[in-house]
Structure 1
Amino acid sequence: MRTVVALRRYPLKSARGEVLQVADVESTGLRGDRTWACIDRLDGTVGSAKHPRRWGRLFDVGTTMSDAGPETTLTLHVDGTSLLAGSAAADAALSKYLNRPVRVSRELPPDARLHRTLPDEVGMVPDWMGDARPGQETITAIAGAGQVGRFVDFGAVHLVTTGALSLLGERMGGVRVAEERFRPNLVIDAPRDPEPGQELRLGDVVLRVVLPTPRCVIPGLPQGELPADLSVLSALARHYRIPVAELGRAACFGTYADVVQPGRLRLGQVVR
């Protein structure tokens, strides 16, 4: 029987997520997910750990969103300071912590873009990035911003399966690969990922799988208690480079899904 074995949202883009027991799923994804982001005051780009040198410290910022949302408390783990997202105090503290002037905002910039550093693995550079080279720094649009209306990379919901995680671990020599490296909203106990076009019914919630998830540098980075592990990226480049719709080939893991029918989702929910 397929069930939901983990449920997470990430109120602030690239910061630590919240482990949930219950989540309201709206037409644009889990309520509160990627609602906030750090906006760079110098160039207007969106803060993302896809550029670790600029934004990697966001992984150590805790997030807690109120049940009603969007009020969100940010916690700097370096000293335990707690601040309200969107306040002048939060902007000042994060600017000092990140060593660059930022504001924490729920408003999407008209042309939402982010800095990224491409992985050093050749197979991790997607075909659609043209002449981009491994290790190159670049600026790209956030495709999901216009589609979903929040700071998501592409789809409304991101999911991975236990079967896919287990197979990745086998391909890496029999290790356990932490699901947290991929920052999913849902982890489903299933032998393999669903295919694009398939619909998943989770109680009242219905999701339709859209695309496999192209991976960036993030799964190999240190995140909270997880150490850096570049072998994850090597395995993705070797074993998971596949066609993504008409876009070309990319190293993918997990899937993006659209919300067909909103509703309330609980940990342990049966998936059909």
Structure 2
Amino acid sequence: MSSVVMLRRYPLKSAQGEALTAVAVEPTGLRGDRTWACIDRLDGTVGSAKHPRRWGRLCDVAATTHVVGAETTVTLDVDGTSLRAGSAAADAALSRHLGRPVRLSRELPPDARLHRTLPDEVGMVPDWMSGTRPGQETITTIAGAERVGRFVDFGAVHIVTTGALDLLGERIGGASVAAARFRPNLVIDAPGDPEPGQELRLGDVVLRVALPTPRCVIPGLPQAGLPADRSVLSALARHYRIPVAGLGHAACFGTYADVVQPGRLNLGQRVR
């Protein structure tokens, strides 16, 4: 039987995640996941490492959640200094670190948008962005902002399986591929990804798979102690281009899921 072998949340969009042993799953996802984001003070866009030149250094920032009674705070580690998210000091430190004026926010901007740089690999450009070309910089809306109400790209929960990671490693040439490259909430010990529409029962939590996850440049970036690896994007472009929910083809890896029934989720939880 399958089980949860990795459980992670990302308090600040595109910053490092935190490993968990247990977490409350709410209707909009893991409690505390992607509830904060950097907002560019110049154009109001949301900071995302999908545009590495602007925002890639967010991957160097650690974010940790602290719960004391009913109060939840997030502490950031920026260049070795610990700062509370939402403070003027944190905004100033992040602005220096990123080289652009930013503010931290838990409020979703109207029509939330982000800058992105498309991967150089031809197969990584999804069909619904057919007017763009590999390597091009563009601005897109964040579908998950309106759909889920957080700074997520689409679904409330992002899932990767060990079987899919193993197969990707074989296709790269036998190398091990770290799950962290894909920034999942859950890694499930299973031979392959669940199908759209399938429900996963994890104790009292029920998730419904929405669609496969279209990939951007982030899996190939240096992050959380991992070096840059262009071979991951090349393999995704060659082997993982599939149809997505009537929108056309895209290079996908992992799945997005919505929360059907919230509850408590523990590392090691059996999945059926």
Letter aligned with residue 171 of structure 1: R
Q: Distance in 2 between matches of 1:166 and 1:96?
A: 39
Contact 1:121 1:233 in 2 (8 A): yes
Which residue matches 2:173? Answer: 173
Which residue matches 1:151? Answer: 151
- Say which SS state the counterpart of residue 59 (structure 1) adopts: helix
Q: Deviations over 1:130-180 (max 9, x none)?
A: 210000000000000001101000000000000000000001111100000
Q: Distance in 2 between matches of 1:245 and 1:9?
A: 26
Q: Distance in 2 between matches of 1:25 and 1:270?
A: 15
Which residue matches 1:195? Answer: 195
- Say which SS state the counterpart of residue 259 (structure 2) adopts: strand
Q: Distance in 2 between matches of 1:16 and 1:69?
A: 22
Contact 1:32 1:69 in 2 (8 A): no
Which residue matches 1:24? Answer: 24
Distance 1:69 1:112, change over 3 A: farther
Q: Distance in 2 between matches of 1:162 and 1:119?
A: 25
Distance 1:69 1:117, change over 3 A: farther
Question: What count of residue pairs does the alignment treat as equivalent?
Answer: 270
Which residue matches 1:218? Answer: 218
Which residue matches 1:50? Answer: 50
* Offset, 1:70: 3.8
Q: How does 1:83-232 map to 2 (within 5 A)?
A: 83-232=83-232
Letter aligned with residue 41 of structure 1: R
Letter aligned with residue 62 of structure 1: A
Letter aligned with residue 225 of structure 2: E
Q: Which runs of no fewer than 5 residues in structure 2 stay unpaired?
A: none
- Say which SS state the counterpart of residue 49 (structure 2) adopts: coil
Which residue matches 1:73? Answer: 75
- Identity %, equivalent residues: 81
Contact 1:35 1:70 in 2 (8 A): no
CA-based RMSD of the aligned residues comes to 0.7
Q: TM-score, with normalisation over the residues of structure 1? A: 0.98
- Say which SS state the counterpart of residue 71 (structure 1) adopts: strand
Which residue matches 1:3? Answer: 3
- Say which SS state the counterpart of residue 66 (structure 1) adopts: strand
* Offset, 1:189: 0.1
Q: Distance in 2 between matches of 1:217 and 1:225?
A: 17
Which residue matches 2:82? Answer: 82
Q: Distance in 1 between matches of 2:53 and 2:256?
A: 27
Q: How does 1:30-45 map to 2 (within 5 A)?
A: 30-45=30-45
* Offset, 1:69: 5.5
Q: Distance in 2 between matches of 1:151 and 1:210?
A: 17
Contact 1:158 1:256 in 2 (8 A): yes
* Offset, 1:224: 2.2
Letter aligned with residue 240 of structure 1: Y
Q: Distance in 1 between matches of 2:131 and 2:28?
A: 33
Q: Distance in 1 between matches of 2:62 and 2:234?
A: 29
Q: TM-score, with normalisation over the residues of structure 2? A: 0.98
Which residue matches 1:238? Answer: 238
Q: Which runs of no fewer than 5 residues in structure 1 stay unpaired?
A: none
* Offset, 1:232: 0.2
Letter aligned with residue 116 of structure 1: R
